[in-house]
Amino acid sequence: MLPIYTTPANNKKIDALRAKLSLKPLLLEGLDDENDVPNQSAFEIVRKILRDVQTRGDAALLEYTQKLDHATLTAETLRVPQSAIESAVRSADPRLLAVLDIAITNIRHYQSAMLTPPPPSIPLPDGTGKLGMKFTPLNRVGLYVPGGAAAYPTSVLHTVIPAQIAGAKNICICSPMRNGSVSPAVLTAAHKLGITEIYAVGGAQAIAAMAFGTNTVKPVDKIVGPGNTYVQLAKKELFGIVDIDSFAGPSEVIVLADDTAAPQQVAAELLAQAEHAPGSCLLITTSRKLADAVQAELELQIKKLTREKLTREALRFASAIIVTPTHEEALKLTDAFAPEHLQITTKSSHEDAQRIQNAGAIFIGPHTPVAAGDYLAGPSHVLPTSGTAKFFSGLSADSFRKRTSLIEFDQQSLDTFGQTIVDFAMIEGFDAHAKSVVVRDKTTQSTTR
């Protein structure tokens, strides 16, 4: 079912697995190594779409929606009408309404509690002046919610709620159509959160519309949310015109387990991630007995899954069982992979969670499946993938705020530090900088004249 690698004997194969999960091959695809010229690639396809939407606006948006999503829209129907949203809510499965309420409560609770408060005023080291910061919510944000073969109302909750908690005033959603409309479940989730600005467009063209704006879609300040390769490349290309959350690859999980873990639970956790297709799932353990038992359990459980074929394909993509000689090596290897999701079931789960430096989200102990975070625990399920947890954090309410520094010198502050500022400015050759201090501070030397 899955290859079983042991360290150090199979270190090269493990390195190859890490390389397969890396974003580097995709992000470097647009350049020819020898001639440094663009290749026809996903990059070029995305760039063409972006240019078209930037220059032709709604007309390009409608063309690409027809061509790529096989949906016929007009400028008047790009935005989902309120009547369609209300109709989706009226016909919603009562179970959906119930689980949305629970998830919304939990996510709001967590995001509100984690919002970083501004610190108190901080004096300079000599006790003078005032230093501080203020937080300002982004004015307008755009959220991308995948559609097509699968639609995720949870993505609405995990992007909209953090933005609302941050205080973002204007929020719009782009989600592609399937079966003639945006997913009713997505519309219902948006309605629960009071979001009425929803556009029935997807792909790179949706990202372009939110970044550049069209006659129908107003431009945003930040774009977040999961999506396929073309969506992610579009976000990357437009970073700087707008802010983005991160560049996301396929979903992934590492289960860090020892002989205290139940093979049935470990196998179920791996299959839950592989079900995303593509998805990567790894078991890292010191127990060969557990590895063999999980291998057998995977084959038993996968046959009972609705998405068996897709899940098998995902297991072939970039998944494995890795057996290490020591628990210390298992921890180091986990950190090296920097997984999106990390589920820990070991004798020392809490201690191991503290020792791990690189993971998007950590699920501690045998009673905490990754699905808890996917749906309703509270932290956003928009998390860094492909090893980027080494430098990215998961989405949160703070992702939708700007931090502005506050600096206030008084006369004593300028008396204390003015000459140092002048000296720095003259060393760097900026006499106008120096003079801006001299005109305020009589104690500085007239070195700028």
Amino acid at 441: D
The pLDDT tens digits along the chain (449 residues) read 899 999 999 999 999 989 888 877 666 654 444 444 444 588 889 999 999 999 999 999 999 999 998 899 999 999 999 999 999 999 999 999 999 999 999 999 999 999 988 888 999 999 999 999 999 999 999 999 998 666 789 999 999 999 999 999 999 999 999 888 899 999 999 999 999 999 999 999 999 999 999 999 999 999 999 988 899 999 999 999 999 998 888 899 999 999 999 999 999 999 999 988 788 999 999 999 999 999 999 999 999 999 899 899 889 888 999 999 999 999 999 999 999 999 999 999 999 999 999 999 999 999 999 999 999 999 999 999 999 999 999 999 999 999 999 999 999 999 999 999 999 999 999 999 999 999 997 666 555 55
The first and second tokens of residue 201, run together, are 């467009």
Determine the Cα–Cα distance for residues 322 and 230; give it in Å rounded to an integer: 32
Q: What separation in angstroms does the CA of 179 have from each of 33, 83, 119, 206, 397?
A: 42, 18, 50, 18, 33
Q: What separation in angstroms does the CA of 334 have from each of 19, 344, 371?
A: 14, 11, 20
The first and second tokens of residue 2, run together, are 């899955």
What are the chain's domains? 4-24+249-391 (3.40.50.1980), 69-246 (3.40.50.1980), 409-449 (no CATH)
Active-site positions?
Answer: 340-341
Q: Which residues of 366-395 are buried (b: 16+ CB within 10 A; e: fewer)?
A: bebbbbebbbbbbbbbbbbbbbbbeebbbb
CA geometry: angle 179, 182, 186, nearest 5 deg: 125
Three-class DSSP category at 323: strand
